[in-house]
Amino acid sequence: MTASTAHALVKSSCDNTFYPELLCSTITSHPEVTKKMKSQKNVIELAVNITKTVVEKNYFQIKKLSTRKGLTPLEIGALHDCLEMAAETLEELTEVEKDQEEYHTKKSLQQHANDLKTLMSSTITDQETCLDGFSHGGASFNLWVRVFFGRWLNGGR
């Protein structure tokens, strides 16, 4: 498949999502996009795989930050909340992966796409909620910057 054909498939798959620009830019920047894109199902699979990788990296970055000495109770609470949200998201992504293996027998591709749409929206909301935890109540600006940039520069968008 040519790069332009793969990008057209990704674009048409992304158009019906809550965050089409984010999804399209993330998938089309993947190094194997032309090798992996043969159908909308491939777009969904790649979106889930990329998201899971990003959430895993973020989870371990936050876990590492949470072991720092000298954190205030507010910072500890904010990091704990972020870890909890990331763990829940990883569980949901694992369920989506299991569902994908059975999509011909249990769900249609459209149902999978709708589930993914909801999950991605939830993932972005969780990320924003996590970051909001650092903007209230005096949590360290430096720690907030590390969480924010760890999430966005380690593969998040």
CA 68 to chain centroid? 25
Helix (H) or strand (E) holding 38: none
Note the pLDDT tens digit of each residue in 128-148: 777 776 665 555 555 655 665
Structure tokens given for 124: 């972005």
24-65 per-position pLDDT tens digit: 888 888 887 888 788 888 888 888 888 888 889 888 988 988
* CA–CA gap between residue 155 and residue 152 (Å, rounded): 6
Number of H helices, E strands in the chain: 7, 0
% of residues, the chain, pLDDT over 90: 1
